């Protein structure tokens, strides 16, 4: 087995699949890429990408895990999702016209993330992503790397964000400070100062991304999300409600920091909706205000926590397709050139899946790939667990 790992790690070119299921629980993103080199010599070419939406019953089961799940539920879903991830990997391989791939990197599905201790007797941080890697490896016959976050947390970090290391490898520029703002369920930013070394990178979760918007859009319209930001565009931001939202403690917490559904999920969204209705807001005003909250939290984070002038802000993730969101961000950051991954000739949807393909390659090559200044870890760590 050691020889197998060495032979893959030393290949001049590898075909690698990255698998990602985010906090929005839209489905499995699968990206098949060709990778040459490693560390700062990494070169990536996207070969194929597809999103595999969860069926309504599977999506319901995953959301159940966030609240009232039993150990039995989690045990079962860990293997069920492993099978679904494997099916996605096999399909994307077939679509690319390949018989097999060298490596798979699977983030899995986060079902709970505890970045700060909750038990005074045992003050530890913890996280859980499921989608059993042994199942993926068996069904695909590919070496599979999973559980990327736990090594960082074992070293005292908050286990997130991890994508900034890949952002540094792929998006650094010598003459401009570049920021990558991902807007998935949660918003997260990576700032790469011009000519930066890896320890110069700044990254953290800015706050909510699409999570609150998606929940409220579904509640008020029955749609899964606000396509193109059309519903928000019909509304008007309530300034008083936005100011109240911006008082949230997380928004003002200094990095390193990470957040998730535990803070900005159903409970938060329901309370926000109730407050808005009590204030007499229309549904479209509620969606507009939620959208403005994401944009304002991004702009506030940049002004408050980034000591560099950002020359270019690249928006990626599902939020990149929300035209109202983009307009709100541009209005709040007139000093920066704000554009989407598509305008850069890349795929917003594929970015995070590609990142975990790259992280799997780094693992196989024995490279540390967390950024301690970002996560708060005591040292750099080789991330992930390898399954054959």
User: Could you give the CA distance from residue 387 to residue 385 in angstroms, rounded to a whole number?
Assistant: 7
CB 106 within 8 A of CB 96: no
Provide the pLDDT for residue 207. Answer: 97
Q: Give 49's strand partners.
A: 31
Task: Look up the pTM and report it.
Answer: 0.92
Confirm whether 305 is domain-assigned: yes
On the 0-12 / 13-18 / 19+ scale of CB atoms within 10 A, 312 is middle
325 located within any domain: yes
pLDDT at residue 232 in the model: 98
List Cα–Cα distances, 195 to 198, 216, 359, in angstroms.
10, 41, 22
By three-state DSSP, how is residue 190 classified?
A: strand
Phi, psi of 360 (to 5 degrees): -65, -40
Q: Say whether both 141 and 167 belong to one domain.
A: no
Indicate whether 229 and 301 sit together in one domain.
yes
Q: Which residue among 335, 361, 379 closes a domain? A: 335
pLDDT on residue 22: 87
| Domain contains 340 | no
Domain assignment present for 125: yes
What is the per-residue pLDDT for 23?
82
Is residue 216 domain-shared with residue 83, that is, in the same domain?
Answer: no
Q: How far apart are CA 269 and CA 24, in angstroms?
A: 14
State which residues form the domain around 16.
2-158+350-387
Instruction: Say if residue 193 is in the same domain as residue 300.
Output: yes
Per the structure, the count of domains in the chain is 2
In SS3 terms, 294-319 reads as HHHHHHHHHHHHCCCCCCEEEEECHH
User: Quick check: is 344 in a domain?
Assistant: no
Strand residue runs (E) in the chain: 13-21, 27-36, 43-53, 103-114, 126-130, 143-146, 178-183, 186-192, 202-208, 312-316, 337-340, 385-387
Residue pair 147/129 in contact by the 8 Å Cβ criterion: yes
- CATH number for the domain including 82? 3.30.420.40
Question: Which residues on adjacent β-strands are paired with residue 143?
Answer: 103
Q: How far apart are CA 229 and CA 288, in angstroms?
A: 9
Show contacts of 72-79: CB within 8 Å, 24+ apart: 74/111, 74/128, 74/130, 77/130, 78/130, 78/131, 78/132, 79/132, 79/135
**CB contact at 8 A, 317 and 26:** no
User: Nearest to residue 25, comparing CAs of 175, 198, 210, 204?
Assistant: 210
For helices 323-332 and 283-305, angle between their N-to-C axes, nearest 10 degrees:
40
Question: What pLDDT does 227 receive?
Answer: 95
Are residues 225 and 210 part of one domain? yes
- What's the full length of the chain, in residues? 388
Interhelix angle 266-278/211-221, rounded to 10 degrees, is 60
**Residue 294 maps to a domain:** yes
The pLDDT, as a whole number, for residue 104 is: 98
pLDDT at position 1 is 76
Task: Look at residue 348 in the predicted model and tell me its pLDDT.
Answer: 87
325 and 177 together in one domain: yes
Strand partners, 237: none
Residue 279 is classified by DSSP as T
Which among 370, 372, 355 has a CA at the least distance from the CA of 35? 355
Residue 161: cis peptide before it, omega within 30 degrees of 0: yes
Same domain, 283 and 357: no
Asked if residue 242 is part of any domain, the answer here is: yes
- Shared domain for 184 and 141, answered yes or no, is no
| Per-residue pLDDT tens listing for the chain (388 residues) | 789 999 999 999 999 999 999 888 989 999 999 999 999 999 999 999 999 999 999 999 999 999 889 999 999 999 999 999 999 999 999 999 999 999 999 999 999 999 989 999 999 999 999 999 999 999 999 999 999 999 999 999 999 999 999 999 999 999 999 999 999 999 999 999 999 999 999 999 999 999 999 999 999 999 999 999 999 999 999 999 999 999 999 999 999 999 998 899 999 999 999 999 999 999 999 999 999 999 999 999 999 999 999 999 999 999 999 999 999 999 999 999 999 999 988 888 899 999 999 999 999 999 999 999 999 999 999 999 999 9
DSSP state, residue 224: S
**Statement to judge: residues 191 and 213 lie in one domain:** yes
Reading the block at residue 307, the tokens are 């000591």
- 182 and 232 housed in the same domain: yes
In a domain, 41, yes or no: yes
Is there a single domain that holds both residue 242 and residue 324? yes
| Pair (195, 331) in one structural domain | yes
């Amino acid at each position: 087995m050691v020889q197998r790992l060495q032979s893959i790690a030393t290949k001049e070119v590898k075909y690698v699949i990255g698998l990602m299921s985010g906090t929005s629980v839209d489905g499995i993103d699968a990206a098949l890429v060709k990778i040459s080199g490693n560390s700062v010599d990494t070169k990536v070419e996207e070969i194929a990408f597809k999103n595999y939406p969860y069926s309504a019953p599977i999506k319901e089961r995953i959301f159940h895990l966030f609240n009232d799940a039993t150990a039995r539920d989690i045990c079962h879903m860990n293997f069920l999702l492993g099978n679904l991830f494997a099916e996605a990997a096999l399909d994307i391989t077939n679509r690319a016209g390949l018989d097999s791939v060298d490596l798979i990197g699977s983030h899995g599905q986060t079902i709970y993330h505890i970045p700060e201790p909750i038990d005074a007797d045992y003050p530890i941080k913890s996280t859980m992503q499921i989608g059993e890697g042994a199942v993926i490896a068996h069904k695909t016959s590919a070496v599979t790397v999973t559980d990327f976050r736990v090594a960082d947390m074992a070293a005292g970090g908050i286990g997130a964000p991890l994508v900034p290391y890949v952002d540094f490898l792929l998006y650094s520029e010598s003459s401009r400070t570049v920021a990558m703002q991902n807007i998935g369920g949660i918003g997260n930013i990576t700032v790469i100062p011009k000519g930066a070394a890896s320890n110069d990178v700044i990254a953290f979760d800015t706050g909510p991304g699409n999570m609150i918007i998606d929940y409220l859009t579904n509640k008020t319209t029955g749609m899964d999300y606000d396509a193109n930001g059309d519903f928000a565009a019909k509304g008007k931001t309530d300034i008083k409600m936005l100011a109240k939202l911006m008082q949230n403690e997380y928004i003002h917490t200094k990095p390193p920091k990470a957040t998730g559904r535990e803070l900005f999920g159903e409970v938060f969204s329901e309370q926000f909706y109730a407050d808005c209705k009590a204030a007499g807001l229309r549904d479209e005003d509620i969606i507009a205000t939620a959208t403005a909250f994401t944009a304002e939290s991004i702009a506030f984070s940049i002004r408050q926590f980034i000591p560099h002038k950002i020359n270019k802000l690249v928006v990626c993730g599902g939020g990149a397709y929300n035209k109202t969101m983009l307009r709100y961000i541009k209005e709040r950051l007139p000093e920066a050139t704000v554009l989407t991954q598509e305008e850069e000739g890349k795929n917003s949807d594929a970015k995070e899946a590609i990142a975990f393909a790259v992280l799997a390659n780094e693992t196989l090559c024995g490279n540390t790939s967390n950024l301690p200044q970002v996560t708060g870890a005591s040292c750099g760590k080789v991330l992930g667990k390898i399954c054959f």
